[in-house]
Amino acid sequence: MFKSAAPGLIYLLFYSVRNVQMSVDQEAQDDELLALASIYDEEEFRRAESGREGEIHLCLELPPDFKLLVSGETCVEYQVSFLPPLVLSFELPVNYPSSSAPVFTLSSKWISRLQLTSLCRRLDELWEEYKGSVVLFTWIQFLKEEALVFLGLQSPLEIFINSSKHSQLERGRTDGAAKRVESAGAEKKSSSELDPRAVLEAEPHADLLRQLLDFDEAQRQKVFDSKVFCCGICFSEKLGSGCVLFKECQHVYCRACIKEFFQIQIRDGKVQCLTCPEPKCTSVATPSQVKLLVGEDEFARYDRLLLQNSLDLMADIVYCPRTSCCMAVMLEPNATMGLCPSCRYAFCTLCKRAYHGLSHCPPTVQELSNLQEEYLAGSEEEKKFLEQRFGKQVIQRAIEESFSMKWMEENSKNCPRCGCHIQKIQGCNKMTCSSCQQFFCWVCLAPLSRVNPYGHFNNPSSPCFNLLFQGVEHEEEAWSDED
């Protein structure tokens, strides 16, 4: 009877021990997952509803001044603080950790499959070392803190830009010497060596450099948002999420102060003055920063004025002279005709009037009167422009007329009746206009009576009393002295 009962007893004992072990494993799993959930936030650690599956996003700890070296036609270095995470996806077997290791995959956007295979094998080795104990936290610590050293990847991490303008990770550098990292072609040749748990998430034609820089920027912003800063204007302490960082100078101000500062500058049309408020600092706000702070109407005005200022600096851009249009017009090299793409108005780019073909620009009265002064005072470049615009003959005539007008202003007077220029060579101050025969006084230019023209000089109440021969006497004295 005892002998027949022994197998059943052993069977019951086996299952009893098994159930106890399963209970211990389940408790260990729950404790481990609970600990991970308390250490890492939801973005880093995600647990499935079943409780046995999850994934951990691990951002590697980069040393200070870690750089990406972009190789191609030229070499450019970028300083980064963060790289896209390694993703450890796992599923816990029923008999973990007593007997079986977690089932896992390890994926990345920037580490090659051969390197991921090396990491997978190292995780297997760690399991063998800690077999019988929970191992997820040990794996996480290794991947976060030792993966770069394990793979021999140090600053600068090289990114290769190929001819199709896409980027891919080419090699890292250790102790100043280049260490080759296997390319996709090498991976195909050694596909038998690749671990199926190693997953490369990068798309074949994705721009890896852009992905790395975008991730680094996002993580920097996340860290900035969580810090506390003192505004340099109102001196109040606020979280980075409520502040603005000028990237060139790293000065920080609260959004409320910078918003008011930007709004005033935009209303005044000073869109080039949206700089850091720090005295003598020349850091300029980016359009994306301005858009986040001001309203839609203000940003539209800012965008329009910024575009206009940029166009004003371009030598091959002019504006349509029609006030109802004012569209920017791009010019052909060495062309003097502009054709507005909006209103189709053809105009001369020199004088801004209707296009007049190869003929020189007809000067206005005001332009003609100022032409001599502008031409004589201008540089060689300015003189060439005026000659191209008006022609040399027009300029020469303007100069001659200007000199004639200047001589007449200095040596003649205008008839008070017809305005004709009169030059006095000799004789008394009673003048007769050669054009209209009007008598007038040379001293005060008053018209004189035809009946008694000399009464003007004999009348004691006249301003020219006894001035009939003013100036003549001096000439006669000069002649007598010479004699």
> pLDDT by residue (tens digit) across 130-185?
888 899 999 999 998 888 889 888 888 887 665 454 455 544 443 333 333 344 44
- As a whole number of angstroms, the distance between CA 277 and CA 282 comes to 9
Q: How long, in residues, is the chain?
A: 483
> pLDDT by residue (tens digit) across 293-329?
888 888 888 888 877 777 666 667 788 888 888 888 8
Task: Report pLDDT for 7.
Answer: 59
- As a whole number of angstroms, the distance between CA 218 and CA 279 comes to 29
- As a whole number of angstroms, the distance between CA 433 and CA 417 comes to 9
Q: How confident is the prediction for the chain on average, in pLDDT?
A: 78
Task: Report pLDDT for 412.
Answer: 82
| Catalytic residue from among 276, 428, 433, 444 | 428
Helix or strand or coil: residue 254?
Answer: strand
Pick from 178, 169, 248: nearest CA to 212 = 169
Point out the least confidently predicted range of 2-6, 123-127, 146-150, 464-468.
Answer: 2-6
- Judged against a pLDDT cut of 60, whether residue 353 lies above it is answered with yes
Is residue 384 situated within a structural domain? yes
Residues 306 and 321 occupy one common structural domain:
no
pTM of the model: 0.54
- Judged against a pLDDT cut of 70, whether residue 102 lies above it is answered with yes
Task: Report pLDDT for 366.
Answer: 59
Residues 53 and 173 occupy one common structural domain:
yes
Who has greater pLDDT, 3 or 463? 463
> pLDDT by residue (tens digit) across 180-219?
334 444 444 455 688 999 998 876 666 777 888 888 888 8
User: Mean of the pLDDT values across residues 266-290?
Assistant: 82
Task: Report pLDDT for 405.
Answer: 66
* Alpha-helix residue ranges (DSSP H) falling in 130-199: 136-145, 147-151, 184-189
The number of domains in the chain is: 5
Task: Report pLDDT for 124.
Answer: 93
Is residue 212 situated within a structural domain? no
In Å, how far from its chain's centre is CA 50?
49
Residues 54 and 138 occupy one common structural domain:
yes
Is residue 1 situated within a structural domain? no
- Judged against a pLDDT cut of 70, whether residue 369 lies above it is answered with no
**Domain closes at, from 165, 186, 202:** 202
Task: Report pLDDT for 175.
Answer: 38
Which range of residues forms the domain containing residue 251?
Answer: 227-312
Residues 92 and 197 occupy one common structural domain:
yes
> pLDDT by residue (tens digit) across 424-452?
888 888 888 888 888 899 888 888 888 88
Residues 329 and 370 occupy one common structural domain:
no
Q: What is the per-residue DSSP string for 372-413? A: HHHHHHS-HHHHHHHHHHH-HHHHHHHHHHHHHHHHHHHH-E
DSSP state of 95: T
Is residue 440 situated within a structural domain? yes
Percent of the chain topping pLDDT 70? 77
* Alpha-helix residue ranges (DSSP H) falling in 227-280: 255-267
A 10 A CB-CB count for 25 gives 20
Q: Assign 261 a pLDDT band (cuts: 50, 70, 90).
A: confident
Which one of 83-97, 153-167, 316-330, 349-363 scores highest in mean pLDDT?
83-97
Residues 97 and 32 occupy one common structural domain:
yes
**Catalytic (active site) residue 348:** no
**Domain closes at, from 202, 236, 260:** 202
Is residue 11 situated within a structural domain? no
For CA atoms 379, 384, 386, 392, the dihedral sign is positive
Task: Report pLDDT for 269.
Answer: 78
